[in-house]
Chains A and B, each alone.
Chain A
């Protein structure tokens, strides 16, 4: 416990660092996933390729991807970009399917109504389909954010791990520094839960119409 108090400032700084490592890939991944997810939603052929491809990407073990990133990107070893690029790949792998499902969830009648009222395809996408798909989309973003926050810790093994540093560093001495390891673990979990809660709030703020009562599944 003494250890935690002594290192409080450092723990806080590392938490910010961890946040950046985890969330920037979520943003970038989202930007990449929206067009890809839309393609999967629009064309059966695209869906047949993109969805299995993204499941496949998700199964690559994070340690392998982190270590191989410098080889693939030509970056320096200690570059945080290695971790962020890998996490972007995982985010895209998660979100492409999420975007496709989110757009699928928009009721057909609403789209038809929008077209009937005179919305062109592009305007309809941004003004009707995208907003209506937000609840499901935010859910996917939440999973991606939490997953990334957890995965960043594995980067500690290549020197860029945010709070994961305390997990490996604490486990090197005999006997191990349990205070350090537990502090790292707890902070990661708390960080993930806080970010998740913030995203829920963001989601509710962006979608005032969902706060009305109603059932989730319609025919």
Chain B
């Protein structure tokens, strides 16, 4: 049996889908994986979105965005996790994993929010102010809805990365789909590699599934006026640039 056949038979083995002597089944680990991801994304969003709105709306501290996004992206998550767990103790493994995953999720969320707010048409913002809206209303009722595609784009990018990386939790005795990757590697050639590859396939499949759900959420949440082909092309062009050159910054 070559490796592909072995993986297929591992994935279709009913023993692996129910709680058996091999431990909790695949569904349990999928849920745990989603739990680690969800908590990390939530916390990262609570930090990054308000920060991105503030910096994007006021234009102050934009160097922070680039600085944070770049340096956090440079941190190797596995290394950070090892350091945190050693320092904090294995009893706090979940907290350590969360910190590591949050550091991974903040850059895309921050960049997306900042880009979204920053690229709202200045004329629209002026018009809103001209209509008598207070600053808070301008943000909440005008800038945010228009920025939503880019913010959600950041959310999708962050979620994708976190789902791929949440496998590191298994390194420090936790659960999640990474369990199959780590255990499979430990078991070695005797059925282990099939488990490892199977785990990798499941992580990828989970990422696709979540991505489809979020794409659906985006379709529902974003105002129809922003979903024309022209607006989508415009959004795509902005999203492709992590550092935005505006008239003020480009000197």
Contact = CB atoms under 8 A, between A and B. Distances in A.
Interface of A: 52, 55-56, 58-61, 63-65, 67-68, 71-72, 98, 101-102, 104-105, 135-136, 139-140, 142-143, 146-147, 149-151, 153-154, 157, 164, 167-168, 171, 176, 178, 181-182, 184-185, 188-189, 191-193, 196, 210-217, 219
A54 to B, nearest CB: 11
Nearest to B195: A64
Interface stretch (B13-21, B24-32, B68-76, B125-133): B68-76
A60 B203 contact: yes
A150 B193 contact: no
A213 B70 contact: no
B163 interface: yes
B193 to A, nearest CB: 7
Contact of B193 (A52, A67, A105, A139): A67
Contacts of B251: 213
A67 B247 contact: no
Contact of B185 (A52, A55, A67, A171): A67
B78 A216 contact: no
A103 to B, nearest CB: 10
A159 B247 CA distance: 48
Contacts of B207: 55-56, 59
Contacts of A157: 185
B164 interface: yes
B245 interface: yes
Interface stretch (B51-59, B89-97, B135-143, B228-236): B228-236
A59 B245 contact: no
Interface residues of B, number: 53
B79 interface: yes
Given A60-B203, A60-B204, A153 B160 contact: no
Interface in B209-251: 211, 230, 233-234, 236-247, 250-251
B78 A153 contact: yes
B98 interface: no
B82 A196 contact: no
B161 to A, nearest CB: 8
A215 B197 contact: no
The 6 closest A-B pairs by CB, nearest first: A192-B74, A64-B200, A101-B240, A59-B207, A167-B79, A153-B76
Interface of B: 3, 70-71, 73-80, 82-83, 86-87, 119, 160, 163-165, 167, 178, 181-182, 184-185, 193, 196-197, 199-200, 203-204, 207-208, 211, 230, 233-234, 236-247, 250-251
Given A139-B243, A185-B75, A189-B75, A171 B203 contact: no
B160 A55 contact: yes
Given A136-B241, A154-B78, A58 B200 contact: no
A179 to B, nearest CB: 12
A99 to B, nearest CB: 10
Nearest to A200: B243
Contacts of B3: 68, 71-72
B119 A164 contact: no
A68 B181 CA distance: 11
Contacts of A189: 71, 74-75
Contact of A61 (B71, B75, B167): B167
Contacts of A185: 75-76, 79-80, 83
B71 to A, nearest CB: 6
Most chain A CB within a 10 A radius of its CB, from B76, B160, B208, B230: B76
Given A181-B82, A217-B238, A167 B250 contact: no
Nearest to B188: A67
Given A64-B196, A217-B119, A59 B204 contact: yes
